[in-house]
Amino acid sequence: MSDWKTLIKEDRQAVLARDPAAKSMAEVRLCYPGLTALKAHRRAHALYRRGHVLLARLLSQRARHRTGIEIHPGAQIGRRVFIDHGDGVVIGETTIIGDDVTIYQGVTLGGTGKETGKRHPTIGNGVTIGAGAKVLGPITIGDHSKVGAGAIVLKDVPPNCTVVGNPGRIVKKPKPTGEVDLDQVNLPDPMLERMEALYHRLSALENCLSRHARRIGCQDCPGGEPWCENDSKGSETHADLQ
């Protein structure tokens, strides 16, 4: 079997393995626009590499009309890549995508408009990019990282991390191994960490207060506060608590 056919076969098997909604290979072959777009891309990329740029672009545009997925023929895409649903996916010319990557609908792997040359992202192996996420510029998303739905990522993401939000921030990092960390880009956010710690302490205090107020039947609370779930019976007041 030629390498091209092997690639397509692996792409189909990846869909069956990764999408719980896919029940049979026949369904995978017939109902997955991501596969159609990938198949067209693998042809277009081969033409592009041989210098048939216009023909490659025409193939890519035809696939876009059929699937709503636009992959520039220059993009380098690894094995077993799964584009789920696919509508609105845009993959730029200098994008490099590793193996076993999952991409949902509405994802843009694009440029910021400021760079020339390599201006699109490099996506590591095993990365998942959630619906509507935008990964912009010649940045790298490390192996096995996850980009949350709706995130806008403008900076490198190390391997095995989860990045969410706009602008994308890392909410999960791999456990430290004891090695010296030379990463000067993705520094922790101490203010955010303190705010989160305060929030957790406040919630614990409110719960505690609520239990005590309920036990003594406190009637002083104007109502609505989370610690005043009970405004009945009893005669004790906040003053009694002091």
Ligand X SMILES: CC(C)(COP(=O)(O)OP(=O)(O)OC[C@H]1O[C@@H](n2cnc3c(N)ncnc32)[C@H](O)[C@@H]1OP(=O)(O)O)[C@@H](O)C(=O)NCCC(=O)NCCS
Contact between 130 and ligand X by CB under 6 A: the answer reads yes
Q: Are 93 and 75 in contact (CB under 8 A)?
A: yes
Pick between residue 94 and residue 128 the one whose CB is nearest to ligand X.
128
Going by their DSSP bridges, the two strands 162-164 and 169-172 should be labelled as: antiparallel
- CA distances for 124 relative to 167, 203, 209, angstroms: 20, 39, 49
Query: Cα–Cα distances in Å, from 143 out to 24, 75, 162, 179, 205?
Result: 29, 18, 11, 19, 41
Q: Name the residue nearer to ligand X (CB basis): 18 or 214.
A: 18
Choose which of 98, 126, 142, 148 interacts with ligand X (CB under 6 A): 148
User: Looking at 78, 150, 159, 234, which residue binds ligand X (CB under 6 A)?
Assistant: 150
Among residues 171 and 195, whose Cβ is nearest to ligand X?
Answer: 171
Work out which of 91, 100, 104, 153 binds ligand X, going by CB under 6 A. Answer: 104
Q: Per rule CB under 6 A, is residue 160 in the interface with ligand X?
A: no
Q: Which range binds ligand X by CB under 6 A, 58-66, 72-80, 86-94, 146-154?
A: 146-154
DSSP β-bridge partners for residue 190: none
Q: For residues 125 and 101, is the Cβ–Cβ distance under 8 A?
A: yes
- Residues 183-242 binding ligand X (CB under 6 A) are none
- In whole angstroms, what is the distance from residue 104 CA to residue 89 CA? 8
Under the criterion CB under 6 A, does residue 131 sit at the interface with ligand X? Answer: yes
Specify the residue for token string 């072959």. Answer: 29
Residues in touch with ligand X (CB under 6 A): 85, 104, 128, 130-131, 146, 148-150, 162, 164-165, 171-172
